[in-house]
Amino acid sequence: MTFTRRFTAAFAVAVAALVITAVPGQAATLRWAAQNDILTLDPHSQNHATTHSLLAHSYEGLVRYTKDFQVEPSLATSWQQISPTQWRFNLRKGVKFHDGSPFTADDVVFSYGRIMQPQGTNQIYVFGVKEVKKIDDYTVDMILSGPNPVLLHQFVNFRIMSKIWSVKNKAENVQDYVAREESFASRNANGTGPYIIKLWEPDKRIVMTANPAWWDKLIGNATDVIYTPIKADATRVSALLAGDVDLVTDLPTQDVTRLRSDPKIKVLDGFENRTIFIGMDQHNPELLYSNVKGKNPFKDVRVRKALNLAVDRDAIKRVTMRGLSQPAAIMIAPSVHGYGSDIDKVAPVDVEGAKKLLAEAGYPNGFEFGLDCPNNRYVNDEEICQALVGMWARAGLKVKLNAQPMASFIAKIQKFDHSTYMLGWGVATFDALFSLQSLLRTKTTGADGSFNLGRVSDPKLDALIDAAKTETDPKKRDDLLRDALVLTRDNYYYVPLHHQMRPWAMKKNVTTVYKADDAPESRYARVD
Amino acid sequence: MSKVEGWLRRAWNHDLAWNFRHSPVAILAALLTLVCVGGAVFAPWLAPHNPFDSGALNLSDGFTPPAWTQGGKAMYLLGTDDQGRDLLSAIMYGARISLGVGVAAVLFSMALGVGLGLASGYVGGRLDAFIMRVADIQLSFPAILIALLIDGVARVALPREAHDEIAIYVLILAIGVSGWVQYARTVRGSTLVERNKEYVQAARVIGRSSAAIMLRHVLPNVMGPVLVIATIHIATAIITEATLSFLGVGVPPTQPSLGTLIRVGNDFLLSGEWWITVFPGAALIVLVLSVNLLGDWLRDALNPKLR
């Protein structure tokens, strides 16, 4: 009797469990892995794609991208241009931050003031905004210094923080990442967005859960998300194959073919809008980490050209990237506005030519310099750097490679403590100006030159970039962008390597939307 | 009959030599060790390529499979890694670093352990108690953990730029410190026996200093077991180095040891490029196995109970 009853009960529980797992549309946990961790939880501190992508789960902007990268309302419901330099935004009513504080115009004004602080690196997302005026609790006016054709695209990554929460927790100031500062906001997140970040254990995991009070609805069913940074390639892929994670958003190139043929795995292909390049210090009077004393060889265009000529981009594509890249001559990827395949023509590798140029520049025996590299950020970053060391060695240059994790790498190069470095630039606004302004405009404390870490400074280039900022005639603007890209290419201010492709892999039962801007969004994810 | 000839004859007739000649395992192990050590020591002359000359690397040759498989090239007998480095050469140069670190760490361990063991056994009293308690504490941690700890502390304490240059020395120190206990214990035991023997008492009576007695009289009589431990310890030290390098805290990839090669190759194991990790792994196994067999034979040969 007891036995039967117990058996029946157990049977009922088992059936119930079966039913629960079988019903589609049920809440699910998405376990997501990628190479690197976020740098901070402070949304205004570091302009770093992984950080932005994860923080976008919690912090929202006034607008956001659709799947097709059209701008759509988010915290602002509508906007109109009162004049070319004045935009009015109507804010969404009834939105609450995760801590319960209400979202109002004060938060927009506060966030603008905060993101503009010089120790952050995200000023570019509000570039051209001179002032944010509160009209009433749910209306703000953006006063611009000039017309800005890409304002809305910029605002996608301008994330709104709660003024009340920031003041209460003394987090009004942006974390100074380079000085290794920590603040309440760099350790805690409080946005209005679809997910509440419950826990961040650096280099271990980020745990998020769906925000029940969100103003919008999740498209998928991933109510819980666990993000795990796994640096080692083989471990990351094994975790996917073993079923320990559901989604991997950066695949080691060597495993793509095999994963494609695996019946349990689905691979989403995609061109990321990211260009990988090498920057060179062109500012210091004496090059760091070098045996050249008293001068800086990279100030000489012939040396920069030699570095460019010695790189065998096809070999990197074929061997290191296994076809998953497009060799680059210009600093933006094909999906970015301003790109032209006619100007993105890569010169063939020419080691002899490079040697000749170096000799002409006064370095017949080459010289020494350092190469700083991340080892957990871009696809095959360290391997590419190792290959570059070899390619440059053939031209007589002795390169000392220093590859380290992104978190320490980025702090080092932002202090200009380098002679050359590898960086990749994805374009959040899908417009060339974003790259030109961040990477090539003469450095200031604000958005101009925020990642111009070799401190390139060319008045002609500055004039083109500054003109493009406010040019509203599309044709003229396109010409300005093009001229700036060509000028950069022909002066060899950088060594562009390739536009990176970045397939994602997931278990067969996972569906999500591929994002070319390296900003996966869990609200799209379904786990069945 | 020349002096050398007489010396050789005596060596040939020595117990140990006789034992060696009659142990096929020992001969095989010695031969293998000789091949490994020879390949490693003479790598700059024997290796077909120089894997550290980055200018000579050709990325286009990357991922070439072993010569006998499809797509292999005769000039790369065991294939190449992701950077186009010849694996055979990389293994020879890698074994050089593995062996160098292993031997240096053992010598360091031995010097430390024998010194402390002698002092402990001969002086006795509080010093003995102190050294032996430290040894007990250290024995409660696995050696690899201690090596990791020392390596980690050194990494934090030393400037980043210096890491690559001194990584090897830190590694030697770490492995050395983690292995001194067994020497100290063995030597202490033997010293306790020797110190009361007549020849030591005689030396004491004629007024020799303690240091001189320890070094000139006791030490030569306790070294036998130490040599056996050292031989076996070389194999352990090589494994410890490989483990640390595999974990990424050992030798930097610019100067790969066998462990580093295995770690780098591990990324490609799943994607079909098995040779990048399998060959360095096989080389490590052969090296360690042959040294271990040699050590075992030496232990048996020197053990009076087994004669």
Q: Token pair of A463, please?
A: 């004039």
Instruction: Say what the pTM is.
Output: 0.83
Cα separation values, A175 from A158, A192, A425, B218, Å: 16, 20, 22, 65
Q: Which of B55, B63, B266 sits opposite A319 (nearest CB)?
A: B63
pLDDT tier for residue B183 given thresholds of 50, 70 and 90 = very high
Better-scored residue on pLDDT, A114 or B155: A114
Residue B268: which of A254, A312, A401 has the nearest Cβ?
A: A254
What does residue A189 show for φ and ψ, rounded to 5 degrees?
Answer: -120, 145
Enumerate the residues of chain B whose CB falls inside 8 A of the CB of residue A413.
none
Q: Where does the pLDDT of residue A296 fall: very low under 50, low under 70, confident under 90, or very high at 90 and above? A: very high
Whether A386 and B271 lie within 8 Å, measured CB to CB: no
Digit-coded pLDDT (tens) for A218-236: 999 999 999 999 988 889 9
pLDDT class for B167, splitting at 50, 70, 90?
A: confident
Selected residue of B163, B260, B271, B275 to mutate for chain A interface (largest A Cβ count, 10 A) = B271
pLDDT at A446: 83
Helix (H, G, I), strand (E, B) or coil at A85: coil
Please say whether the dihedral angle defined by the alpha carbons of residues A107, A108, A109 and A114, taken in this order, is positive or negative.
positive
Q: Which residues of A321-351 are buried (b: 16+ CB within 10 A; e: fewer)?
A: bbebbbbbbbbbbebbbbbbeeebebeebbb
What pLDDT score does A21 carry?
Answer: 44
For the record, the structure tokens of A427 come out as 């374009």
Contact between chains at B54 and A312 (C-beta distance less than 8 A): no
CA B183 to chain centre: 15
3-state secondary structure of B229: helix
Does residue A470 sit in helix, strand or coil?
Answer: helix
pLDDT band, very low/low/confident/very high, at B161 (cuts 50, 70, 90): low
- Within its chain, how far is the Cα of B252 from the centroid? 19
Identify which of A453, A429, A456 has the alpha carbon closest to the alpha carbon of residue A332.
Answer: A429
Higher pLDDT, A382 or A1: A382
State residue B68 phi and psi, 5-degree precision: -85, -5
Give the pLDDT confidence of B45-82 residue by residue, as tens digits: 999 988 888 778 888 888 899 999 888 888 899 999 88
Which chain B residue has its CA at the smallest distance from A408's CA? Answer: B160
pLDDT value for B158 = 77
pLDDT tens by residue, A116-133: 999 999 999 999 999 999
Which residues from A are below 8 Å from B60, CB to CB?
Answer: 312, 315, 318-319
Give me A15's structure tokens: 């059936």
Q: Do A312 and B62 touch (CB under 8 A)?
A: no
Q: Does A288 touch chain B (CB under 8 A)?
A: no
Model confidence pLDDT, tens digit, residues A171-192: 999 999 988 899 999 999 999 9
Please name the residue ranges forming H helices in A212-367. 233-241, 256-260, 301-309, 313-315, 351-360
Look at B54 and A389 and tell me if their CB atoms are within 8 Å.
yes
Look at strands A494-501 and A325-327 and give their pairing: antiparallel
The per-residue pLDDT for range A312-347, each reduced to its tens digit, is 999 999 999 999 999 999 999 999 999 999 999 999
Q: How confident is the model at residue B1 (pLDDT cuts 50, 70, 90)?
A: low
* ipTM computed for the complex: 0.76
A349 interfacial to chain B (CB closer than 8 Å)? no
Question: If we measure between CA atoms, which residue out of B196, B210, B188, B173 comes closest to residue B134?
Answer: B188
In a 10 Å sphere around its CB, with 0-12 CB exposed, 13-18 middle and 19+ buried, how is residue A510 labelled? buried
pLDDT at B160: 65
Which residues, in sequence order, are CB contacts of A351 under 8 Å at separation 6+?
Answer: A309, A310, A391, A394, A395
In sequence order, the 6+-apart residues with CB closer than 8 A to the CB of B67 are: B73, B74, B76, B77, B78, B79
Contact B55 A255 (CB under 8 A): no
Contact A32, A249 (CB under 8 A): yes
**A258 and B CB contact within 8 Å:** yes
Which of A235, A251, A253, A254 is the best residue to mutate to test the B interface, defined by the most B CB atoms within 10 Å of its own CB?
A: A254
Please report residues of B whose CB lies closer than 8 A to that of A318.
60
The residue among A65, A179, A52 whose CA lies nearest residue A122 is A52
Residue the block writes with tokens 């970045």: A502
A vs B, Cβ pairs < 8 A, gives 63
Q: Are B200 and B122 in contact (CB under 8 A)?
A: no
Q: Is the pLDDT of residue A304 over 70?
A: yes
What is the helix (H) or strand (E) element at residue A499, kind and residue range? strand A494-501
A170 in Cβ contact with A181 (< 8 Å): no
Interface of B with A (CB under 8 A): 53-55, 57-60, 62-63, 82-84, 160-161, 253-254, 266-273
pLDDT surpassing 60 at residue A12: no
Residue A198 has pLDDT above 70, yes or no: yes
Summary mean pLDDT of chain A: 92
Backbone angles phi, psi at B252, to 5 degrees: -70, 155
A97 and A103 Cβ atoms separated by less than 8 Å: yes
CB contact under 8 A, A390 and B83: yes
Separation in Å, CA of A268 to nearest CA in chain B = 18
Q: What is the pLDDT of residue A5?
A: 52
Q: Using the beta-carbon criterion (under 8 Å), do B82 and A320 form an inter-chain contact?
A: yes
**Cross-chain residue pair B271–A393, CB shorter than 8 Å:** no
- Give the model's pLDDT for residue A2: 46
Residue B189's alpha-carbon distances to B118, B120, B122, in angstroms, are 9, 9, 10
Q: Is the pLDDT reported for residue A418 higher than 80?
A: yes
Residue A295 has pLDDT above 90, yes or no: yes
Helix (H, G, I), strand (E, B) or coil at A200: strand
Please say if the pLDDT value at position A499 is more than 80.
yes
- Among B59, B270, B273, beta carbon nearest to A390: B59
Nearest by Cα to A29 from A228, A223, A245, A241: A223
Model confidence at A25: pLDDT above 60: no
Instruction: Please indicate whether, in this complex, the C-beta atoms of A257 and B254 are within 8 angstroms of each other.
Output: no
Q: What angle do CA A193, A199, A200 make, to 5 degrees?
A: 100
